[in-house]
């Protein structure tokens, strides 16, 4: 899983420290919230607030158990890996689309640069100010877009590879979940079949007992 990128997304949703919670949940199930609070040195309410925010996006799920002696509930949290990967794939897709728009703009339009201020402006802005920098009065020069285009293409290719890896990982998880559901379904069918067989056996046995009783009555 692309943990760093997921941490960034989680931080946007629930705050910077939520990324630290994520690290404690990855690869585990039913993590005690008091253990999370202890490790991060935060109050249980702070931990719950962040986890509830993540839960609103279906990134985490929980089970709860009641303490019979104290009477309160303890929550145990699990990362929803499939949903997290879907969110990652969607975020990467948006980043790629944004860079593709930039690339298209660079390929079709011209930009100008002030070598003194190191600021870049569109051709429209440069034309509006008669190709003169408003900060220092330096004349704008045509920016070399070749390197920028190359860098954009490299970044798009890098993010595409990341997204493909995420989608492959997501597909594996979905296949595993499908196998689990199929296994449960088959077990259910076997139990149902066994139940029918047992029911039939009992019925036959009951019928035999009934016939035996009737036979005894006739002999009498």
SS (H, E, C) 170-198: HHHHHHHHHHHHHHHHHHHHHHHHHHHHH
51 & 100 share domain: no
| Sign for the pseudo-dihedral over CA of 80, 88, 163, 155 | negative
| Phi, psi values for residue 154, rounded to 5° | -65, -45
Q: Examine residue 195 and state whether it is found in any structural domain, yes or no.
A: no
More confident residue, 138 or 205: 138
3-state secondary structure at position 109: coil
Question: What pLDDT is recorded for position 176?
Answer: 80
Instruction: Select from 79, 105, 137 the last residue of a domain.
Output: 79
104 & 159 share domain: yes
* DSSP alpha helix (H) spans, 109-144: 123-128
| Phi, psi values for residue 122, rounded to 5° | -75, 165
Residue 28 CA to residue 111 CA, distance in Å, equals: 50
| Sign for the pseudo-dihedral over CA of 3, 4, 10, 15 | positive
Q: Examine residue 217 and state whether it is found in any structural domain, yes or no.
A: no
130 & 113 share domain: yes
Both tokens of 124, joined, read 């429209």
Does residue 185 carry a pLDDT above 80?
A: no
Instruction: Answer for the pair 140, 114: CB distance below 8 angstroms, yes or no.
Output: yes
pLDDT tier at 47, thresholds 50, 70, 90: very high
Question: What pLDDT is recorded for position 5?
Answer: 77
Find the domain containing 65 and state its range.
Answer: 3-79
Give the residue-averaged pLDDT of 43-58. Answer: 93
90 & 65 share domain: no
Question: Could you tell me how far CA 216 lies from the centroid of its own chain?
Answer: 72
75 & 138 share domain: no
Q: Examine residue 164 and state whether it is found in any structural domain, yes or no.
A: yes
Give the residue-averaged pLDDT of 131-145. Answer: 92
Residue 96 CA to residue 91 CA, distance in Å, equals: 9
Does residue 1 carry a pLDDT above 70?
A: no
């Amino acid at each position: 899983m692309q943990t760093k990128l997921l941490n960034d997304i989680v931080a946007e949703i629930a705050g910077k420290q939520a990324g630290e919670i994520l690290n404690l949940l990855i690869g585990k199930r039913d993590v005690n919230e008091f253990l999370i609070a202890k490790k991060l040195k935060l109050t249980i309410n702070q931990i719950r607030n962040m986890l509830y925010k993540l839960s609103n996006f279906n990134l985490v799920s929980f089970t709860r158990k009641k303490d019979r002696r104290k009477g309160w509930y303890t929550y145990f949290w699990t990362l929803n890996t499939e949903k997290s990967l879907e969110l990652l794939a969607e975020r990467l897709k948006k980043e790629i689309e944004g860079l593709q728009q930039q690339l298209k703009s660079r390929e079709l339009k011209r930009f100008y640069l002030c070598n003194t201020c190191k600021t870049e402006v569109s051709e429209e802005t440069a034309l509006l100010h008669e190709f003169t920098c408003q900060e220092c009065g330096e004349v704008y020069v045509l920016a070399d877009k070749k390197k920028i285009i190359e860098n954009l293409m490299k970044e798009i290719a890098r993010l595409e590879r990341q997204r493909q890896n995420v989608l492959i990982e997501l597909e594996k998880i979905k296949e595993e979940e499908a196998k689990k559901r199929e296994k449960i379904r088959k077990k259910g069918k076997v139990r149902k079949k066994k139940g029918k067989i047992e029911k039939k056996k009992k019925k036959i046995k009951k019928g035999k007992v009934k016939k035996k009783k009737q036979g005894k009555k006739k002999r009498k």
